């Protein structure tokens, strides 16, 4: 496996992440409906809101995904609290340790309290996050937010 790193995204990377968001939402339509606009693109109005600590997940020199980390939990309104607003690994890089390595890098880059929320409907993400956080001391609770049921992990990172 190539070296996995989180490359902080710059404003010039915003169109790249916007394109990756389309793939992310396409994958998620298996579990949750997302509207498609008249231009044929999935509607996503949160990129500016979540553009606080954006990253490209890199495998060597190749883009393997992205992560948008924010400093407050939108589901609980807790602040300060790190939160993965979006976290996406391209299918070609899944089940190879890329997501776990990227998560560990994000946790090291942002020490403190964390929340990670996963929609109950997204069974693949439930499996990933359950495995990824199994070794951490975390609390897990169900939360209803914006019409969906979520599993909310809360834990600390040094």
Taking 80 as the threshold, does the pLDDT of residue 137 lie above it? no
Contact 3, 61 (CB under 8 A): no
pLDDT at 95 over 80: yes
Task: Please say whether the dihedral angle defined by the alpha carbons of residues 50, 67, 75 and 30, taken in this order, is positive or negative.
Answer: positive
pLDDT digits (tens, 9 = 90+) for 12-67: 999 999 999 999 999 999 888 888 999 999 999 999 999 999 999 999 999 999 99
- Quote the pLDDT of residue 17: 98
- Do 56 and 13 meet the contact criterion of CB atoms below 8 Å apart? yes
User: Please, what is the average pLDDT of the chain?
Assistant: 94
What percent of the chain is modeled with pLDDT above 70?
100
More confident residue, 32 or 133: 133
Token pair in block for residue 70: 């924010």
Where are the domains positioned within the chain?
A: 4-157
Q: What is the pLDDT of residue 154?
A: 94
Mean pLDDT of 124-149: 90
- 138's CB contacts (< 8 A; 6+ apart) are 153, 154, 155
This model's pTM is above 0.75? yes
Mean pLDDT in residue range 135-152: 89
Q: Which residue has the higher pLDDT, 88 or 32?
A: 88
The strand pairing partners of 142, in sequence order, are 151
- Kind of pairing between the strands at 148-157 and 112-119: antiparallel
Class of domain 4-157: alpha beta
> Per residue in 100-120, pLDDT tens?
999 999 999 999 999 999 999
Cα gap 60→49, rounded to integer Å: 29
Q: What are phi and psi of 147, to 5 degrees?
A: 85, 0
Give the 3-state secondary structure of residue 132.
Answer: helix
Portion of the chain with pLDDT greater than 90, in percent = 86
């Amino acid at each position: 496996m190539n070296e996995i790193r989180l490359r902080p995204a710059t404003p010039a990377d915003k169109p790249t992440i916007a394109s990756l968001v389309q793939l992310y939402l396409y994958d998620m339509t298996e579990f949750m409906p997302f509207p498609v606009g008249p231009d044929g693109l999935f509607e996503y109005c949160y990129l500016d809101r979540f553009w606080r600590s954006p990253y490209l997940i890199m495998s060597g020199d190749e883009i393997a995904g992205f992560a948008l980390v924010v400093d407050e939990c939108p589901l609980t309104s807790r602040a300060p609290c790190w939160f993965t607003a979006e976290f996406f690994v391209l299918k070609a890089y899944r089940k190879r340790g890329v997501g776990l390595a990227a998560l560990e890098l994000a946790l090291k880059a942002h020490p403190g309290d964390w929340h990670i929320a996963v929609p109950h409907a997204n069974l693949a993400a439930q499996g990933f996050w359950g495995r990824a956080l199994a070794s951490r001391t975390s609390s897990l609770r169900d939360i209803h937010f914006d019409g969906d049921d979520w599993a909310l992990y809360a834990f600390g990172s040094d």
